[in-house]
Structure 1
Amino acid sequence: MNKHILRASLEDASLAPEACQVTPAHAERPPAGAEMARVLGTTPFQMALDSSGAGIAHWKHDPLHDVVAPMSHHVIMAYNGTVQRMERRMGSAVAIGTFRPGVVIIIPEGSSSRWDIPKPVDVIQLYLPHATLERVAGEVDSATSTDLLERTAHPDPITSRLLLTATDAVVGNVVVDTLFRHQLMDLLATRLLAAHVGAPSTFQPTRGGLSPVVLRRAIERLHSDIDADVSLAALASDAGLSRFHFCRAFKESTGLSPHAWRRQQRLEEAKNMLRGTDASVISIAVALGYSSQTAFAAAFRKLTGDTPSNWRRRAR
């Protein structure tokens, strides 16, 4: 094999770290969402970003033959389209991989490469600030580097499934999905530290749930309709815990993650309104904070297997 070319197999198309081109840390880099919009020449099908630029985007774009410039966030992608071969070049190094479900692509912060993808692409992208990765590593007592490896069509069905579920967080109930995104970001960061850094991570286990007082206060906040009161950061801060440890302790106490508990609570509210009032489905959707009747109906059906209208007829 030519020492200047790394040909990645179907099973593992990852690049050695030394093959990556990384710009100096002080160089000015665009946010990932802005650079992706530039190079893809389109707008995302769906996107949810926070003030740091961290977020989730669903892109459907045409074939790509261009250079992705260094970005100020790590970019992690899960492929959701038809199987196709692609090529990624970094200087004299070349990775040839196969885009297919179950693989991930990782572009570390500051990395640059040329992409040649011959067919249209359907992909979910996570934009992760390095500060988030470092915070999560500190919260879970990770004894490892936080330097992500370059990955090209690397088999990782766990990370791929997590990212593909993120499409549910881009639409629907704003309050619930904001909480879900916070948890998903931390969960994905934990997974990246375990599987995609230079050395395996070691996490120190912690046990025990929330105290009754802290749990009651958290549930009161989750019942609130105020967006700020149901942010994961606010819940964790109020409990005196990191976001990671709060989520673990909350699930230990309730059997559900904060996001799943909130979604279940919204479902019960919806059932009570459908059963006990004559309010229209659209007015119930608005009252519960959903962006549209369609989003509400999709969420309701996902949890119950039925539409709100059909469920109401059977419940009365």
Structure 2
Amino acid sequence: MGDPILRAPLQDPQPRPSEADPDKLRRADVEMARVLKTVPLQMASDPSNGSIAHWKHGALHDVVEPMTDHVIMTYPTGVQRLERRTGTSVAIGTARSGVVTIIPAGSQARWDIPGIVDVIQLYLPHTTLARVAREANAPAPGDLLERTGQPDPITSGLLMSAADVLDGNAALDALFRQQLTDILATRILAGHTGAPTTFVPIMGGLSPHALRRAIERLHSDSDADVSLAALASEAGLSRFHFCRAFKDSTGLSPHAWLRQHRLEQAMNMLRDTDASMVSIASALGYASQTAFAAAFRKLTGETPSDWRRRMR
């Protein structure tokens, strides 16, 4: 099936998200669990910034009740028909790679999906959209547009990256999700609101002092020190502008810089000490030896044990 089709004019509109009764809104993860009748394969949450969840679910024939956050979806694998009914309006699309579906916060619709769906969902607070717009000196965002299998390969790819890069390292994973959520928010503002936002980049890197302090924080063992909010605040910049300025100065995003630093630490410990894999994983903040080994192999193509043997 091609692009989403809109059938019949909307004659019985649902309340705008800004008009919905807050007391009747449900948390997105709770409502998704109810209608999908399963649990996510993976889920990572940041109460102030949104959550990402990867689901595989069967057929769905139910009303999705109004939720507190916007739900942005994409589909890593498979092809499946989607039908959304809002009042007398019917939108039909196809769940497939490269498309997105958006359920605006506070909206309500009946969904009919005949078979299995592999889906990644971002639960995006409207406050995050508003913050990103404010930090980018853009107008306050209006309501999001409903999308049902809308082609958007960039947003789709970003969402899949958000679910794919979960390395079992709390600091790295949280920093990556914080960066990616802000990037996704700019994509949503630019392409999926009633009044698309234009972002004008401000060029220039961090001052030498700000860059030095940022790197000192990234060297810290404290997860709080390496949060995007802490890094940006230390530099006296918004999160939006800090990420751009840091990459301009170093050639890497904060997450990529920290990941490279942790890899160099791992290599030094593997080469210069007899520390066990378990102790190295723990020292670098990985949840397990398995998570450390998988992350190391992803970056180097070798297991830590093989790399240690080759370097000695």
Q: TM-score, normalised by structure 1?
A: 0.92
Q: CA 1:148/1:17 → structure 2, altered by over 3 Å: closer, same or farther? A: farther
Pairing 1:21–2:17 present: no
Q: CA deviation at 1:146?
A: 3.2
Pairing 1:72–2:65 present: no
* Equivalent residue number for residue 120 of structure 2: 124
Q: CA deviation at 1:200?
A: 2.6
Query: Given the alignment, which residue of 41, 59, 62 partners 1:63?
Result: 59
In percent, how many aligned pairs have the same letter? 68
Q: Structure 1 residue runs of 4+, over 6 Å off?
A: 14-17
Equivalent pair of 1:143/1:202 in contact (CA under 8 Å): no
Pairing 1:255–2:247 present: no
Equivalent pair of 1:144/1:202 in contact (CA under 8 Å): no
Q: CA deviation at 1:84?
A: 1.6
How far, CA to CA, are the matches of 1:195 and 1:209 in structure 2? 27
Query: Gapped runs of 5+ residues in structure 2?
Result: none
Q: CA 1:247/1:16 → structure 2, altered by over 3 Å: closer, same or farther? A: farther
| Aligned residue type for 1:89 | R
Pairing 1:47–2:43 present: yes
Equivalent pair of 1:31/1:53 in contact (CA under 8 Å): no
Equivalent pair of 1:47/1:58 in contact (CA under 8 Å): yes
Pairing 1:301–2:303 present: no
Give the stretch that moved more between structures: 172-181 or 294-303.
294-303
Pairing 1:102–2:98 present: yes
How far, CA to CA, are the matches of 2:252 and 2:22 in structure 1? 43
Equivalent pair of 2:158/2:184 in contact (CA under 8 Å): yes
Q: CA 1:18/1:227 → structure 2, altered by over 3 Å: closer, same or farther? A: farther
Query: Gapped runs of 5+ residues in structure 1?
Result: 1-8
Q: CA 1:101/1:46 → structure 2, altered by over 3 Å: closer, same or farther? A: same
* Equivalent residue number for residue 4 of structure 1: none
* Equivalent residue number for residue 11 of structure 1: 3
Equivalent pair of 1:17/1:149 in contact (CA under 8 Å): no
| Aligned residue type for 1:264 | Q
Equivalent pair of 2:49/2:181 in contact (CA under 8 Å): no
* Equivalent residue number for residue 163 of structure 2: 167
Structure 1, residues 223-268: CA drift from partner, whole Å, max 9, x if none? Answer: 1010110000011011110000000000000000001100010111
Q: TM-score, normalised by structure 2?
A: 0.93
Structure 1, residues 133-171: CA drift from partner, whole Å, max 9, x if none? Answer: 011011112247432110000000100000001113445
Equivalent pair of 1:148/1:196 in contact (CA under 8 Å): yes
Equivalent pair of 2:10/2:87 in contact (CA under 8 Å): no
Structure 1, residues 98-124: CA drift from partner, whole Å, max 9, x if none? Answer: 111101010011011111111111111
Residues paired across the two proteins, number: 308
Q: CA 1:287/1:15 → structure 2, altered by over 3 Å: closer, same or farther? A: farther
Pairing 1:134–2:127 present: no
Equivalent pair of 2:74/2:95 in contact (CA under 8 Å): no
| Aligned residue type for 1:188 | L
| Aligned residue type for 2:185 | A
How far, CA to CA, are the matches of 2:5 and 2:267 in structure 1? 48
What CA RMSD, in Å, does the superposition of the two structures yield over aligned residues?
1.9
Q: CA 1:16/1:288 → structure 2, altered by over 3 Å: closer, same or farther? A: farther
| Aligned residue type for 2:84 | R
How far, CA to CA, are the matches of 1:14 and 1:232 in structure 2? 40
Equivalent pair of 1:209/1:252 in contact (CA under 8 Å): yes
| Aligned residue type for 2:75 | Y
